[in-house]
Amino acid sequence: MSFIALKQLSEVTNPGQVTNVLSGHDQQARLFNGTYQFSVSQIIDGSGNLTLSVNSYLVGAGFQVGTGGTFKGNSPEKYALEVLMFIQNLERDPTKNPSSRNYVTGTYNSDTGLYQGSFSLPCLFNLDAATGVVSYGADPYLL
């Protein structure tokens, strides 16, 4: 989400000046939170399987998907929605989320073609006293 928020700031990578991801850090609460909205195409294949695919709006963002991993989205927007939906699925599983935390929400509206929601994820942050650089990382909550 941070990658997308950063790329949205540039007219080069975001020529349409679309702001589909809003995010921020709450240092006192140690949360990385925000909202997202992606335009999605809905496809039903010959077997009746429903597939949602994010319509990319960023161009030349320099995003490269890894190899051999769980997530396959070939654009930052596709990858982000894949991760968000994956987290939502894990949050529903009591063996993976014994504390029943619900930090990611999302819904798809077939009338508007939008998948939108919010996130409020626990994070860790550190201040390097020598350089003044602040770094953020995820604070795992799912097993």
Residue 59 lies in a domain: yes
Specify the pLDDT at position 67: 87
Residue 42 lies in a domain: yes
Residue pLDDT, tens place only, 104-122: 999 999 999 999 999 999 9
Residue 100 lies in a domain: yes
Residue 37 lies in a domain: yes
Residue 143 lies in a domain: no
Residue 104 lies in a domain: yes
- Cα–chain center distance at 138: 13
Stretch 121-131: mean pLDDT:
94
Alpha helices in the chain (DSSP H): 2-8, 76-91
Residue 38: CB partners within 8 Å, gap ≥ 6?
20, 54, 55, 77, 80, 81, 114, 115, 116
- The percent of residues above 90 in pLDDT, for the chain, comes to 96
Specify the pLDDT at position 66: 85
Residue 119 lies in a domain: yes
- Give the long-range contacts of residues 10-19, CB within 8 A, separation 24 or more: 12/60, 13/58, 13/59, 13/60, 13/61, 14/57, 14/58, 14/59, 15/59, 16/57, 18/57
Under the banding of pLDDT at 50, 70 and 90, the label for residue 130 is very high
Stretch 90-117: mean pLDDT:
97
Asked if 15 contacts 59 with a C-beta cutoff of 8 angstroms, the reply is yes
Residue pLDDT, tens place only, 24-69: 999 999 999 999 999 999 999 999 999 999 999 999 999 999 888 8
Domain boundaries, position 18: 2-138
Residue 28 lies in a domain: yes
Specify the pLDDT at position 68: 87
Alpha helices in 11-132 (DSSP H): 76-91
Query: How many domains does the chain contain in total?
Result: 1
The encoded tokens of residue 36 equal 């997202």
